[in-house]
């Protein structure tokens, strides 16, 4: 069987994991909006496709699936997820196992306000989140939150645009300037323009953990893999260690039961000083922290291929060694020559 | 012969380049303030040493050199350079080839105001640079510069703390807030506290190039390797292509003749729209862009080892193929087991 990784970008390591999992019995095909990335170089076949917001995007992916006899599709970029999720039926019709949550769940993942409402609804603690200065002022009066507060683009990624404010005047000026920055910078191309582009959140301090929440392709919980983040660099995890964390595992199971996503969901949690675990963020795809799990013996690519073939995955692939400490290593590579 | 890389950090690739250049005829020893980095894992011997500002720092490096029979020492961190340069004689006395400019040149590299004065003195165009609001206001009146202007920590690295200002009021408030940030954040631990911690610079827009300016160990110009930066990510070059650029080559030769540094000096240049080349920055060491030259056939580690042994390096090691396009690749690795 052949596997398609869409928006492969720089994730050459994932291409290699899938190649190893296939063991020569199929190809790894990659798509991306630009050809010159390490992920594209690593793939067996690399095809440039339009950007997600281009009306031709989904058709071009469907064409790639048919031309390359693709059985399994994993998307690696948040911003294309809604377009693929909205066309799930079309992929199913041509026999592609789509590793993508429903559109409803994708929209929850991408929208920090919906993530908060989703967490509350499912009994998972998450930072209190508001859409307006007025709603925040009321919550402050009720004693529901206190300064400092964090402002973020509602549909943003990582810590881009993040501001911390310590009082109402600062909140007003940060709200205004972030709003302007979002308008100028186009953070919010997935946004509903009729509503606030900004979330105002409780500022929680704690130890951060990254989690792979894995369901089978029917959305049944299979496993979760928890890594304590030891060092960050430029917004990405530079070093992490695999751990047991029963509180986070329990919340991850609750998330998995509510999302029923197929495959891997990337989640970020904090554990506060009082021991409470808090859900920070959900990404509807393999996260940048997956290689830390893979290093500890996990093999989600192999499990996905097995599920897609209707086979039970090996128990080993869904078992993580504890206390495995991984480090990001940076190398420079050239454009490889392709076999013709 | 054995080679010592100090402050090796995450530069596992440099450890490997030196290992390959030695071809088993010697060890690569690494020091760092923390043991858990990819560079330390890659080294044959890895020794934790105190931070550069610790009075025991230089003695500990001298001890490592003697205990491990080190013949060649390359430092990989700006902030330790002045301490090593100030003790150059002590390394020479125990037979170590020190790949480090004189203290005077190190101080020019680390101080953006001294870099500007050095460039002016040597007929190399560099962004006009001022130390105070008053000096900047006078230069504006003279028509020497115009807004926008850039504020940076004088002893800073990369673009940390960088602010762009469009008028005098904005300049005053940015100067004040950056000053406060520097006081709080400790950017300036190499700084002369009696003077301004901030430089105010002409804001130049152009294509950026990274250059390895290589002298032999007597400070005679050997070669320079010019790379056009194609993509940046989190302040680091993500993709670059090797090029010929006669203007930058000519300025690099002028810099090399003035610094007479041994080994590799990392330089950043802009080429402006009018074709003029401008020196932005000098780093007294291997830069993060060196792997792009190495990918194109350059082998400075092999040349340094040859020079240290009193042998002429192969012409090939100082020759770069053009049009070689390199890309940073990120992987996660574990802590390797060491042979006992």
pLDDT tens digits for range A233-269: 877 889 999 999 999 999 999 999 999 999 999 999 9
| CB contact set of B266 (below 8 Å; sequence gap of 6+) | B210, B211, B212, B213, B282, B283, B285, B286, B287, B288, B289, B290
Q: Are A333 and B335 inside 8 Å of each other by CB?
A: no
Q: Are B13 and A334 inside 8 Å of each other by CB?
A: no
Mean pLDDT of chain B: 93
Q: Are B331 and A294 inside 8 Å of each other by CB?
A: no
Q: Are A38 and B329 inside 8 Å of each other by CB?
A: yes
- Work out the percent of chain A whose per-residue pLDDT is above 70: 96
Three state DSSP letters for B176-197: HHHHHHHHHHCCCCCCCCCCCC
Helical spans, DSSP H, in B260-299: 290-295
Two tokens, residue B244: 């010929």
Closest CA to B283 of B158, B195, B174: B158
What pLDDT is recorded for position B340?
45
**Residues B100-108: what's their mean pLDDT?**
97
Q: Which residue has the tokens 């042998």?
A: B311
What pLDDT is recorded for position A146?
95
CA distances from B106 to B259, B282, B328 (A): 9, 9, 28
pLDDT for residue A333 is more than 60: yes
Min mean pLDDT across A188-202, A279-293, A302-316, B257-271 is at A188-202
pLDDT digits (tens, 9 = 90+) for B52-93: 999 999 999 999 999 999 999 999 999 999 999 999 999 999
- Work out the percent of chain B whose per-residue pLDDT is above 70: 96
Smallest CA–CA distance, residue B52 to chain A, in Å, is: 21
> Of the candidates A327, A332, A333, which has its C-beta nearest B332's C-beta?
A327
Two tokens, residue B13: 């690739």
- The residues on B that touch A, with CB distances below 8 Å, are 10, 12-13, 36-38, 41, 233-236, 239, 291-292, 294-295, 324-335
- Work out the percent of chain B whose per-residue pLDDT is above 90: 85
CB contacts of A36 in chain B (<8 Å) are 239, 325, 327
| CB contact set of B148 (below 8 Å; sequence gap of 6+) | B164, B165, B166, B203
What pLDDT is recorded for position A247?
96
Kindly list the structural domains of chain B, giving each domain's residue range(s) and its CATH number in brackets, ordered by start. 2-100 (3.40.50.20), 128-202 (3.30.1490.20), 206-326 (3.30.470.20)
Mean pLDDT of chain A: 93
- The residues on A that touch B, with CB distances below 8 Å, are 10, 12-13, 36-38, 41, 233-236, 239, 291-292, 294-295, 324-335
What pLDDT is recorded for position A340?
45
Smallest CA–CA distance, residue A117 to chain B, in Å, is: 32
Smallest CA–CA distance, residue A8 to chain B, in Å, is: 13
Smallest CA–CA distance, residue A254 to chain B, in Å, is: 29
Q: Are B332 and A13 inside 8 Å of each other by CB?
A: yes
Q: Which residue of B15, B332, B335, B336 is the best one to mutate when testing the A interface, meaning the one whose CB has the most A CBs within 10 A?
A: B332
Q: How many CB atoms lie within 10 A of CB A106?
A: 26
Angle at A303 between CA A30 and CA A118, to 5 degrees: 85
Q: Which residue of B has its CA nearest to A38?
A: B329
Q: Are A291 and B235 inside 8 Å of each other by CB?
A: no
Q: Which residue of A32, A329, A333, A334 is the best one to mutate when testing the B interface, meaning the one whose CB has the most B CBs within 10 A?
A: A329
CA distance A224 to A211: 7
Q: Walk across the sheet containing B129-130 and list its strands.
A: B129-130, B198-202, B149-153, B163-165
How many alpha carbons lie under 13 Å from residue B205 in its C-beta half-sphere?
A: 5
What pLDDT is recorded for position B192?
57
**Residues A271-278: what's their mean pLDDT?**
94
Handedness of CA B90, B92, B94, B100 (dihedral sign): positive
CA distance A234 to B288: 15
| CB contact set of B328 (below 8 Å; sequence gap of 6+) | A10, A38, A330, A331, A332, B233, B236, B237, B238, B239
Min mean pLDDT across A41-50, A179-188, B230-239 is at A179-188
pLDDT digits (tens, 9 = 90+) for A81-139: 999 999 999 999 999 999 999 999 999 999 999 999 999 999 999 999 999 999 999 99
pLDDT digits (tens, 9 = 90+) for A113-129: 999 999 999 999 999 99
> Of the candidates A13, A36, A324, which has its C-beta nearest B331's C-beta?
A13
CB contacts of B323 in chain A (<8 Å) are none
Q: Output B105 or A182, whichever has higher pLDDT.
A: B105
> Of the candidates B294, B325, B331, which has its C-beta nearest A329's C-beta?
B331
Q: Which residue of B327, B335, B337 is the best one to mutate when testing the A interface, meaning the one whose CB has the most A CBs within 10 A?
A: B327
pLDDT for residue B120 is more than 90: yes
Handedness of CA A36, A40, A42, A47 (dihedral sign): negative
> Of the candidates A233, A236, A327, which has its C-beta nearest B333's C-beta?
A327
CB contacts of A330 in chain B (<8 Å) are 10, 13, 328-330
Task: For residue B190, name the pLDDT band (cuts at 50, 70, 90).
Answer: low
CB contacts of B292 in chain A (<8 Å) are 332
List the beta strands (DSSP E) in chain B: 2-6, 28-32, 45-48, 70-75, 97-99, 129-130, 149-153, 163-165, 198-202, 206-215, 221-233, 236-243, 263-272, 277-283, 325-334
pLDDT digits (tens, 9 = 90+) for B272-326: 999 999 999 999 999 999 999 999 999 999 999 999 999 999 999 999 999 999 9
CA distance B81 to B99: 10
Q: Walk across the sheet containing A70-75 and list its strands.
A: A45-48, A28-32, A2-6, A70-75, A97-99
Task: For residue A337, name the pLDDT band (cuts at 50, 70, 90).
Answer: confident
Task: For residue B13, name the pLDDT band (cuts at 50, 70, 90).
Answer: very high
Smallest CA–CA distance, residue A292 to chain B, in Å, is: 7
Q: Is the CB of residue B248 less than 8 Å from the CB of residue B231? A: no
Helix axes A112-121, A103-110, angle to 10 degrees: 110
> Of the candidates B38, B233, B328, which has its C-beta nearest A327's C-beta?
B38
| CB contact set of A122 (below 8 Å; sequence gap of 6+) | A254, A255, A258
The number of C-beta contacts closer than 8 angstroms across A and B is: 91
Task: For residue B178, name the pLDDT band (cuts at 50, 70, 90).
Answer: confident
- 3-state class percentages of chain A: helix first, strand second, coil last, to nearest 5: 35, 30, 35
Q: Are A325 and B335 inside 8 Å of each other by CB?
A: yes
What pLDDT is recorded for position B191?
55
Q: Are A328 and B327 inside 8 Å of each other by CB?
A: no
- Name the β-bridge partners of B30: B5, B46
CA distance A123 to A192: 26
């Amino acid at each position: 069987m052949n596997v398609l990784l869409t928006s492969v970008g720089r994730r050459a390591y994932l291409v290699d994991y899938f190649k190893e999992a296939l063991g020569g019995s199929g190809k790894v095909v990659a798509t991306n909006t630009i050809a010159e990335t390490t992920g594209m170089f690593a793939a067996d076949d690399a095809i440039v496709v339009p950007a997600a917001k281009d009306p031709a995007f989904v058709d071009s992916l469907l064409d790639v699936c048919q031309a390359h006899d693709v059985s399994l599709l994993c998307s690696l970029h948040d911003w294309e997820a809604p377009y693929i999720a909205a066309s799930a039926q079309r992929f199913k019709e041509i026999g592609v196992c789509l590793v993508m949550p429903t559109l409803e769940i994708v929209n929850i993942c991408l929208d920090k306000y919906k993530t908060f409402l989703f967490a509350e609804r499912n009994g998972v603690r998450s930072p209190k989140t508001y859409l307006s200065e007025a709603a925040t002022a009321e919550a402050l009066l009720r004693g529901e939150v206190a300064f400092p507060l964090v402002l973020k683009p509602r549909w943003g990624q990582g810590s881009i645009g993040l501001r911390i404010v310590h009082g109402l005047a600062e909140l007003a000026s940060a709200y205004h300037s972030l709003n302007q920055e979002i308008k100028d910078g186009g953070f919010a191309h997935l946004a509903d323009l009729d509503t606030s582009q900004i979330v105002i959140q409780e500022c929680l301090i704690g130890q951060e953990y990254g989690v792979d929440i894995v369901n089978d392709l029917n959305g049944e919980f299979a496993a979760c893999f928890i890594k304590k983040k030891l060092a960050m660099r430029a917004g990405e995890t530079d070093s992490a260690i695999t751990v047991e964390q029963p509180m986070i595992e329990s919340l991850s199971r609750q998330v998995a039961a509510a999302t029923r996503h197929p495959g891997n969901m990337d989640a970020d949690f904090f554990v506060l000083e009082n021991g409470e675990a808090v859900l920070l963020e959900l990404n509807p795809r393999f996260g940048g922290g997956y290689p830390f799990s893979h290093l500890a013996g996990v093999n989600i690519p192999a499990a996905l291929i097995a599920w897609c073939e209707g086979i039970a995955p090996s128990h080993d692939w869904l078992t993580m060694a504890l206390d495995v400490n991984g480090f990001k290593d940076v190398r420079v590579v050239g454009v490889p020559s392709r076999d013709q």
